[in-house]
Chains A and B, each alone.
Chain A
């Protein structure tokens, strides 16, 4: 009788622990990468330059004016065709600059949105 009682008590006492082991919970919190947050590049401020057109007719007059103004009477020349090429080249440089700046802005907007967005 005592044995049965002992077994019954053992079962009662250990019953609560059957299947009651606590499970370990692992939390994984994603830590977002820090924003690079570079400021946009500073805008250019270009200096003004003056074009002088020199032809066979006005060459002497142009050089005389330069000397009068105390400027070395020397000019770095371009033909009309090369002037057009230069204009096109500058237009392409400007476009590339605009495109790159635009891409940078879009990347910033996409990967580093402001809190409101």
Chain B
């Protein structure tokens, strides 16, 4: 009798133990899957962060180049007025017609620069311009992207 009770209890205990092991196994498998998924997701996040940093760096670089171009454009504008002790007022008195033409042309070019800065499309001629005589001297970097200034 006692042997029978021990046998039955033993079998039942073994059954419960096996079931517990199965449940543990299932939990561990689920945990493993979750960990693997988390690692993949983390890797994706890291990769995206890398891409973002590269994009930010590129963007900063681009803006710095642009700001340097602005400085140069303003310096060039000043140069045009003051080059070799040039006095635009005196020149206008001496050569009124010529200076009027130059100023009107400059004004037209400057207006075109504003249009381009506001997002206007380049014309074919602006894109093709590679010579100094073909460019818009008010804003060559903006108006004539294919023009390379001779240093």
Contact residues of A with B, CB < 8 Å?
A: 1, 4, 8, 11-12, 15-16, 18-20, 40-46, 48-53, 55, 57-58, 79-81, 83-84, 87-88, 90-95, 97-99, 101-103, 106, 109-110
- Among B1-55, those with CB < 8 Å from A are 1, 4-5, 8-9, 12, 15-16, 19-20, 23, 52, 55
Task: Report the interface size class on chain B.
Answer: 35 or more
Q: Are A58 and B70 in contact (CB under 8 A)?
A: no
Determine the chain B residues whose CB is within 8 A of the CB of A51 once the complex forms: 100, 103-104, 107
Considering the chains assembled together, what is the distance between the CA atoms of A83 and B111 in angstroms?
15
- Among B66-104, those with CB < 8 Å from A are 66-67, 70, 73-74, 77-78, 81, 87-89, 92-93, 96, 99-100, 103-104
Determine the chain A residues whose CB is within 8 A of the CB of B89 once the complex forms: 79-81
Q: Are B119 and A41 in contact (CB under 8 A)?
A: yes
Q: Are B87 and A52 in contact (CB under 8 A)?
A: no
Considering the chains assembled together, what is the distance between the CA atoms of A58 and B4 in angstroms?
132
Contact residues of B with A, CB < 8 Å?
A: 1, 4-5, 8-9, 12, 15-16, 19-20, 23, 52, 55-56, 59, 62-63, 66-67, 70, 73-74, 77-78, 81, 87-89, 92-93, 96, 99-100, 103-104, 106-108, 110-111, 113-121, 138-139, 142
Determine the chain B residues whose CB is within 8 A of the CB of A106 once the complex forms: 59, 62-63
- Which of B16, B73, B119, B139 interacts with A42 by CB under 8 Å? B119
Shortest Cβ distance from residue A95 to the other chain B in the assembled complex, whole angstroms: 4
Q: Are A43 and B12 in contact (CB under 8 A)?
A: no
Determine the chain B residues whose CB is within 8 A of the CB of A79 once the complex forms: 89
Considering the chains assembled together, what is the distance between the CA atoms of A13 and B54 in angstroms?
62
Q: Are B117 and A84 in contact (CB under 8 A)?
A: no
Determine the chain B residues whose CB is within 8 A of the CB of A83 once the complex forms: 88, 103
Shortest Cβ distance from residue A85 to the other chain B in the assembled complex, whole angstroms: 10
Known: A19-B23, A92-B74. A98 touches B111 (CB 8 A): no
Considering the chains assembled together, what is the distance between the CA atoms of A93 and B87 in angstroms?
25
Known: A79-B89, A88-B74. A46 touches B99 (CB 8 A): no
- Which of A19, A42, A101 interacts with B19 by CB under 8 Å? A19
Q: Are A15 and B63 in contact (CB under 8 A)?
A: no
Considering the chains assembled together, what is the distance between the CA atoms of A57 and B93 in angstroms?
8
Determine the chain B residues whose CB is within 8 A of the CB of A87 once the complex forms: 77, 81, 106, 110
Considering the chains assembled together, what is the distance between the CA atoms of A113 and B55 in angstroms?
11
